[in-house]
Amino acid sequence: MIAFDGITNDTALKILNAPTPEKVLENYNSPYQLSKEQINSYKENGFISLKNVLTGEALTHAQRVIEAAVLIRKEKDKRTLSEKSQYEQSFLQCGYLCWDFLAVKDFVFGKRFAGIARDLMQASGARLWHDQALFKEPHGRVTDAHQDISYWPINEGGFTITMWLALNDVPKEKGCLYFYPGSHKLGNKEYVDIFKNPHQPEVVKGIEKTFTPINAGDATFHSGLTFHGAGQNVSDEMREGMTVIYLADGATFDSSDERNATHKSCVGLKDGDKIDTQYTPRLI
């Protein structure tokens, strides 16, 4: 059973139903300036770690709201870590929170984060693909290395990017992310079944991993083409990560892989259609 300081099942709903303070909204929507070096570094490596993407009251607020949402989603799950599947031992995964909780929507729709995504992808605009909280429980196992695009029905892998924002400090021992620099240049390569039967991807053998320990409010951004994973959480604390995944405006639907074609964000689309559905609004 999971628990967060100062939040009960009753207060969780109150937290989620309260309007987001004006100052927090301003922070969620204020621009974040990237340098040319940062944009080039992302282009070269396929990922980047950025400081202070969220700070102060906005960070405290986002943490509380997302903890409350995770608590509500997981309140009925009384299993201990060892009773869960191998995949579930990597993280508590709570997706599409923004469509259930307005307070989370305010965060997920923030133009600050979407603006970073757009600028790193050098796109004309950024759409929402989906959001998901990824909390790694104390002593949760590694996240096996994989490439996100292999799970998504999208033709253009380079038109996808994930923000992974730390809601609390995430040093290496708490299971920070690692990336294989430059692996996005290998293209759409290898499906790893992280759900049931993971293997170490062949294509990144020989590439050294870069671990990205980050503090609360910092974030990493990685391309859907970049191979990555996360270490084990050997600490006694929950690792709290919130992700938002963006598409460059213009990304198109790929129905060719049956494993992915039923993705909720693409319902109603035909092969090759521009991804523009009720779940993928243009955010910036």
Residues binding ligand AKG (CB under 6 A):
91, 134, 136, 143, 148, 162, 164, 177, 228, 230, 241, 243
**CB-nearer residue toward ligand AKG: 108 or 177:** 177
The answer to whether the beta carbons of residues 194 and 134 sit under 8 Å apart is: no
Q: What is the DSSP letter of 154?
A: B
Q: In degrees rounded to 5, what are phi and psi of residue 187?
A: 85, -170
The answer to whether the beta carbons of residues 73 and 94 sit under 8 Å apart is: yes
**CB-nearer residue toward ligand AKG: 177 or 186:** 177
Shortest Å distance, C-beta 33 to ligand AKG: 24
**CB-nearer residue toward ligand AKG: 110 or 224:** 224
**CB-nearer residue toward ligand AKG: 24 or 214:** 214
Shortest Å distance, C-beta 4 to ligand AKG: 18
**CB-nearer residue toward ligand AKG: 20 or 180:** 180
CA dihedral 243, 249, 252, 253 (to 10 degrees): 40
Shortest Å distance, C-beta 36 to ligand AKG: 26
Shortest Å distance, C-beta 223 to ligand AKG: 10
HSE of 163, CA atoms in CB hemisphere, 13 A: 35
The answer to whether the beta carbons of residues 160 and 46 sit under 8 Å apart is: no
Question: Which residue(s) pair with 133 in the sheet?
Answer: 94, 242
Q: In degrees rounded to 5, what are phi and psi of residue 163?
A: -95, 130
Question: Measured between alpha carbons, how far is residue 241 from residues 7, 162, 236, 264, 284 in Å?
Answer: 18, 12, 16, 22, 23
Task: Measure the CA–CA gap between 2 and 127, rounded to whole angstroms.
Answer: 32
**CB-nearer residue toward ligand AKG: 106 or 240:** 240
Shortest Å distance, C-beta 152 to ligand AKG: 11
**CB-nearer residue toward ligand AKG: 150 or 243:** 243
Shortest Å distance, C-beta 18 to ligand AKG: 27
Shortest Å distance, C-beta 268 to ligand AKG: 25
CA dihedral 81, 85, 91, 92 (to 10 degrees): -80
Which residues are CB-contacts of 88 (< 8 A; sequence separation ≥ 6)? none
